[in-house]
A and B are shown apart, each in its own frame.
Chain A
Amino acid sequence: AQKVTQAQTEISVVEKEDVTLDCVYETRDTTYYLFWYKQPPSGELVFLIRRNSFDEQNEISGRYSWNFQKSTSSFNFTITASQVVDSAVYFCALGEGFQKLVFGTGTRLLVSP
């Protein structure tokens, strides 16, 4: 069965600190996709990244980076030098083939000035 665990319910940091959001997944498929979405206070979910199970290369996009490790079934998300605008709820999700996405319960990030 598919499952996504985001153990951190809420994280509070001060601006310019680095912060890592954890995501652990469970799946029996060899082909699957992992996602991160950002939900700012305005409410919509914004797509951040997609990763397929055959590509373990880490990715960096500006201040954002993602560490995908199949050995530990984790897909962690790091924000470097956090800013107030990063305050949001972040969701990790797992997708397999024709199945529905399975979402984690979300991590609320609060960045204070």
Chain B
Amino acid sequence: EADIYQTPRYLVIGTGKKITLECSQTMGHDKMYWYQQDPGMELHLIHYSYGVNSTEKGDLSSESTVSRIRTEHFPLTLESARPSHTSQYLCASSANRVHYGYTFGSGTRLTVV
């Protein structure tokens, strides 16, 4: 049973549309992360948060934005989707210390046409 949920699982959307990818966790984790993964496999950290009202940009520059108003919720928004945003987006969370690693959601496969 998943403790971190991502919706939608798949999304096909037209260029220029605004989209929000949802991520929620029930583990009470303070830390949450968004990764972008292209077919080349490598995981690219695009955003992370260490708690409510705390967000930081990751290692890979992204046109998306995130918010963290509640501990359990970490949505990612694209104001104007473009074909270059086509990718898989993975959300993860962790305890304050990373002893137990990350728990990942099932991902959102986004296609912008």
Contacts and interface: CB of A to CB of B under 8 A. Distances in A.
B104 interface: yes
B41 A108 contact: yes
Interface in B66-113: 88, 90, 92, 94, 96-107, 109
A95 B106 contact: no
Contacts of B46: none
B101 A33 contact: yes
Given A89-B41, A105-B41, A105-B42, A43 B98 contact: no
B19 interface: no
B97 A97 contact: yes
A101 B102 contact: yes
A45 to B, nearest CB: 4
Contacts of A100: 33, 45, 48, 98
Interface residues of A, number: 25
Contacts of A101: 94, 98, 101-102
Contact of A50 (B33, B41, B88, B101): B101
A41 to B, nearest CB: 11
Interface string B19-47: 00000000000000100000001110100
A55 interface: no
What are the nearest 10 A-B pairs in CB distance? A95-B98, A45-B104, A106-B41, A43-B107, A44-B106, A35-B101, A105-B42, A103-B43, A89-B41, A101-B98
